[in-house]
Amino acid sequence: MPERERRWNGWGFAGESFPAPARARAWLAERLGEGNPLPAVPESEVVIPPPRPLPALPARTLTESGVRLRTACGHSLPDLLALRTGAIAAFPDAVCFPESSEQVVEILRAASAAGVVVIPRGGGTSVVGGVTVRPGARPVVVLSLERLRGLVRVDTTSQLATFRAGSLGPEVEAALAPHGLRLGHEPQSFELSTVGGWVATRSAGHRSTGVGKIDELVAGLELATASGLWRLPPLPASAAGPELRRLVIGSEGRLGVITEATLRVRPLPESEDGLAVLLPGWAAAVELCRELLQTGVPVEMLRLSDPPETSFGTTLVHLSPLAARVSRALFGMRRYHRGCVLLLGWAGATQEVTLAEQAAAKLWRAAGGLALGRSGWRRWRDERFRHPYLRDELLSAGWGVDTLETAAPWARLGAVYSAVRQAMSSACERLGFRVAVLCHLSHAYRDGASLYFTFLWPLARGAELAQWSALKGAATEALLETGGTISHHHGVGTIHAPYLEREVGQTGIAALSALARELDPQGVLNPGVLLPGEAT
Ligand SMILES: Cc1cc2nc3c(=O)[nH]c(=O)nc-3n(C[C@H](O)[C@H](O)[C@H](O)COP(=O)(O)OP(=O)(O)OC[C@H]3O[C@@H](n4cnc5c(N)ncnc54)[C@H](O)[C@@H]3O)c2cc1C
């Protein structure tokens, strides 16, 4: 199948979009005021310096400007601002495309010998600066996993499948389907992110409440380092010392390049469905989610939007005149004035799905929920990979938008939620602009859940990055102070690296640094990512 052309300065595939409906623009204008539209400079206006000399690398290597531009950044908000304005801080000097695990080892050897920085790149969808090239004295090579793709083997008896690291989400599912299997790992970046990237960042998909985070799905790994291939075989469980696979999961390219991963897969479901439920208020709705998890009601997908996200969400949906009247009437009722939409999804044997839905219904009815039907859930499922295109539309229209996510035990979740919202509002007040903070709870566990915040603000010309820094910094401090993690699934990258020590302690940083020194003695792999304070 021919590769679809990707946008060089925004999300996704060229020609795709998610235009902001007039109602959404009105919602934002009413709460935030108008911002300054941020036009995107054409590619021809981006100034790309010539590449620095590099040693010969044992794989196809390109130094063309277009390729270097397309691998200079990821998808964080600072990345997008840089790409839109053309103010890109640094470019790789070359991009290489190994075709085997052995070639990756050879590249790492050559780079280590010559002191060349290597940035492993899967889909390049990092939102935390994980693949962003930074200025520095050493030349930089992006090691693209683009040619290391495909299914290596399937063990249907054990329900294990081994993939090369550069395999994209849709390729994974397409390769498993003929075997009657699926992985079920569907981050919103599914169409453009890779197996290796998921493992390197400890990613989570929409179905993670049922299938688990990628952490739970990895059974075995192959890691390329300058000293060779390190194979950690797939095992259901082991007591052979500490779990070394877990050290590689989340290592963000600092310990080596993941070249293969053996993943736990499951049978394709007989049926799949879900529904939307309207609940009277946030705190009680969070309690309902806790109850669902702790009483063991099986749920594959769970997503609870808070009142602001529910309100903004209704502006993105095209409703028939009748449905729009019903919606207005519902939200006009005192009971649902601060209503929260809960999406619940199930997949599996038809009878199991029916029983799980019935068990869940007992709980949401007792919590005062009102079934909104299946169409809302199905629409969300069908459109979920298109939603990220909205960010580019909003930037063009003058509103900044970014997301941040955390997780905390149920007992701390309310405090984290309030503190993050409050911190962002206070930061804006000080700086004289307004912010809308939307949140949903997803990826739920017996002991806690993830909160995913979307924040929007009117862009001020020339101060876009400062506005973002103020909001992001305030929110990160707030969630650390109230007991949340700096990231539930986006990872650390360079953006969260300065905060990692507050979460894992000095000993944690020292242990990780020692491991990085052992596996990458010349310090060429992703300097500044995960562990802070290292120059490229
Ligand atoms: C619109 C959008 C939606 C998103 N939705 C989600 C979501 O729902 N859930 C979620 O978890 N994340 C999400 N993300 C974040 C991102 O998609 C994930 O972090 C994803 O796992 C990154 O995969 P990738 O292949 O793009 O990795 P990249 O962005 O290429 O790399 C990420 C990091 O891992 C390193 N790396 C990549 N491949 C390897 C490898 N083979 N070996 C060693 N290191 C490697 C890179 O150097 C970098 O530090 C989203 C991002 C965007 C832009």
pTM (whole model) above 0.95: yes
Task: Give the position, in ligand 1's atom list, of the atom nearest the Cα of 196.
Answer: 41
Is there an atom of ligand 1 within 6 Å of 490 CB?
yes
Q: Express as a percent the part of the chain with pLDDT over 70.
A: 99
pLDDT in tens, 26-57: 999 999 999 899 999 999 999 999 999 999 99
Is there an atom of ligand 1 within 6 Å of 529 CB?
yes
60-62: strand order across its sheet: 60-62, 94-97, 140-144, 117-121
Tell me, what's the pLDDT at 457? 98
Alpha carbons 192 and 126: distance in angstroms, whole number = 11
Tell me, what's the pLDDT at 1? 63
pLDDT at 24 over 90: yes
Tell me, what's the pLDDT at 322? 83
Average pLDDT estimate for 237-266: 97
Alpha carbons 88 and 108: distance in angstroms, whole number = 26
Nearest to 11 by CA among 370, 325, 393, 297: 393
Amino acid at 411: A
Is there an atom of ligand 1 within 6 Å of 252 CB?
yes
**DSSP letters for 74-93:** -SSHHHHHHHHHT------S
Alpha carbons 13 and 513: distance in angstroms, whole number = 37
Alpha carbons 243 and 382: distance in angstroms, whole number = 38
pLDDT in tens, 405-455: 999 999 999 999 999 999 999 999 999 999 999 999 999 999 999 999 999
Longest dimension (CA), the chain: 70
193 CA from centroid of ligand 1 (Å): 6
Tell me, what's the pLDDT at 522? 97
Tell me, what's the pLDDT at 3? 82
Is there an atom of ligand 1 within 6 Å of 200 CB?
yes
Is there an atom of ligand 1 within 6 Å of 528 CB?
no
Mutational test site, ligand 1, from 70, 101, 126, max ligand atoms within 8 Å of CB: 126
Average pLDDT estimate for 369-395: 94
Mean pLDDT, the chain, whole residue set: 96
Is there an atom of ligand 1 within 6 Å of 119 CB?
yes
pLDDT at 536 over 60: no
489 CA from centroid of ligand 1 (Å): 9
Question: At a CB cut-off of 8 Å and minimum separation 6, what does 386 contact?
Answer: 16, 18
Phi-psi region of 354 (alpha: psi -120 to 50; beta: other; left: phi over 0): alpha
Banded model confidence at residue 535, pLDDT cuts 50, 70, 90: low
Tell me, what's the pLDDT at 329? 87
230 CA from centroid of ligand 1 (Å): 22
Question: At a CB cut-off of 8 Å and minimum separation 6, what does 470 contact?
Answer: 427, 428, 430, 431
Average pLDDT estimate for 102-120: 98
131 CA from centroid of ligand 1 (Å): 9
Least confident of 225-229, 331-335, 365-369: 331-335
166 CA from centroid of ligand 1 (Å): 11
Average pLDDT estimate for 135-154: 98
